[in-house]
Amino acid sequence: MKFFIDTANLEQIKEAQDLGILDGVTTNPSLMAKEGISGKEAILNHYKTICEIADGDISAEVLSTTYEEMIKEGDELAAIHPNIVVKIPMIKDGIKALKYFSNKGIRTNCTLIFSAGQALLAAKAGANYVSPFLGRLDDISVDGMNLIEEIRIIFDNYMFDTEILAASIRSPMHIINCAKIGADVITSPLDSILNLLNHPLTDKGLAQFVADAKKLG
Ligand code: G3P
């Protein structure tokens, strides 16, 4: 399973990259705004910097919602670096844009996926990744993990190459359950990834080893 970090924060991206387990980065307009990025040049520069810090696929989301604007914007984003994956929203014009980029050999991530039907359409249009939003489904009392399972079954039935990129991750349990189901990728805030490290018996065991190591001189 690939691990992406879901942030536009350069420090957190660096920290995850330094861990040695990072496979990519996902961003969205909200995450970019949170970092105070504003204006086209600043946005393009920020993506360039992310590509210099992190290895692997870097999802850069279009800000527009019409086919013509999305393909113009996506072409500009894709020109930044070969690792850029153009992130397109799950709307009718988005499907057309996914097909356009697929024909052109530009990689895409279809975002805001909340149903198996949406994932199927995105895969048919040639998306490289679909991003089902687990946490936001859980927030409205719908089990987001069921959606990951449904998409896994459908993609396996027809051997779609499209990868399931589980997004809107809120906890280490989301990551573990995605791994059990067979999501190809999780994209997560850094804290949920780091929380996978924690176990009280590890802390207790290490404290004992450190104490005993002192006895060994
Ligand atoms: O990047 C898309 C997704 O991961 C957003 O997550 O926490 O805003 O629901 P969240």
Question: Ligand 1 centre and the CA of 212: distance in Å?
Answer: 44
pLDDT tens digits, residue range 141-181? 999 999 999 999 999 999 999 999 999 999 999 999 999 99
What tokens does 183 get? 């999501």
Look at the block and give the residue holding tokens 């024909």: 103
Q: Atom 5 of ligand 1 has which residue's CA nearest to it?
A: 168
Q: Atom 6 of ligand 1 has which residue's CA nearest to it?
A: 168
Kindly list the catalytic residues: 87
pLDDT tens digits, residue range 78-122? 999 999 999 999 999 999 999 999 999 999 999 999 999 999 999
Q: For the chain, first and last CA: distance in Å? A: 41
Q: How far apart are CA 96 and CA 150, in angstroms?
A: 24
- Which atom from ligand 1 is nearest to the alpha carbon of 28? 1
**How much is the mean pLDDT over the chain?**
97
pLDDT number for residue 25? 98
What tokens does 186 get? 């999780």
Strand partners, 3: 186
What percent of the chain has pLDDT above 90? 100
Is 112 buried (19+), middle (13-18) or exposed (0-12) by CB count in 10 A?
buried
CATH superfamily of 2-215: Aldolase class I (3.20.20.70)
Q: How far does CA 95 lie from the centroid of its chain? A: 19
pLDDT number for residue 217? 79
Ligand 1 pocket residue status of 7, Cβ below 6 Å:
no
Instruction: Say what angle helices 144-158 and 172-181 make with each other, to 10 degrees.
Output: 30
Q: Atom 10 of ligand 1 has which residue's CA nearest to it?
A: 168
Distances from the Cα of 10 to the Cα of 17, 19, 34, 54, angstroms: 10, 14, 12, 10
Per-domain residue ranges of the chain:
2-215
Instruction: Say what angle helices 116-124 and 92-104 make with each other, to 10 degrees.
Output: 40
Ligand 1 pocket residue status of 167, Cβ below 6 Å:
yes
- Which atom from ligand 1 is nearest to the alpha carbon of 167? 4
Q: Quick one: average pLDDT of 125-136? A: 98
pLDDT number for residue 101? 98
Ligand 1 pocket residue status of 185, Cβ below 6 Å:
no
Ligand 1 pocket residue status of 188, Cβ below 6 Å:
no
Ligand 1 pocket residue status of 59, Cβ below 6 Å:
no
Ligand 1 pocket residue status of 177, Cβ below 6 Å:
no
Secondary structure class of 213 (helix, strand, coil): helix
pLDDT number for residue 22? 97
Contacts of 138 (CB under 8 A, 6+ apart): 144, 170
Q: Quick one: average pLDDT of 54-68? A: 98
Q: How far apart are CA 143 and CA 202, in angstroms?
A: 31
